Chains A and B, each alone.
Chain A
């Protein structure tokens, strides 16, 4: 009986302590950053506005592999592969419906070429919802974004214009199929 009583008393006491501790917060400094009066510092890995980047040679990095589209939990990325006369893949169109995008960054994680990147820019509101649908020409920038050195076709075995078979990183020249020599 006494135990129960003390236990209940303890509960009441803890409520009172809670009240007191919360009351003390009246005299703490507020943590709020008063955006837009104060612009917060955004970290480079912040998941904001999505861009498409170019490789160090200035060519489109996106190879239209569709991995971002399939990784997207809200299915807001649609694209179509096409290729140039030398066999380099690129998207014929690349569309993100930002009115559906949840900025989860899965597309960036899925991207094997560092083409799609999320940037710290988060001010993307529009008055017309149709304006939230972005095509490739709206997202493609002229730089490499966050990753400066990676060039997918320099490590991939597929030949493209300016890079033939065996010219990628760590590749031997093409074998001679007419030879039986070891």
Chain B
């Protein structure tokens, strides 16, 4: 029982980290901080613009795989079978 609760709380922690990164990358870099980021150039593009157009999508994809890897590690740690 205790194991289940710890598993669930760690699971929630991973989800909240994912949501925080999702918010920072999409709203933070793409909208709220777009002006200061636009002062930096990445491959000729303004960084704020790049995040709004492409960067956030790459970050979301990376997040999907990171989440999956973290959850697999968690499953193994708590011996939760698929």
Genuine A/B complex: no
Residues on B facing A (Cβ under 8 Å)? none
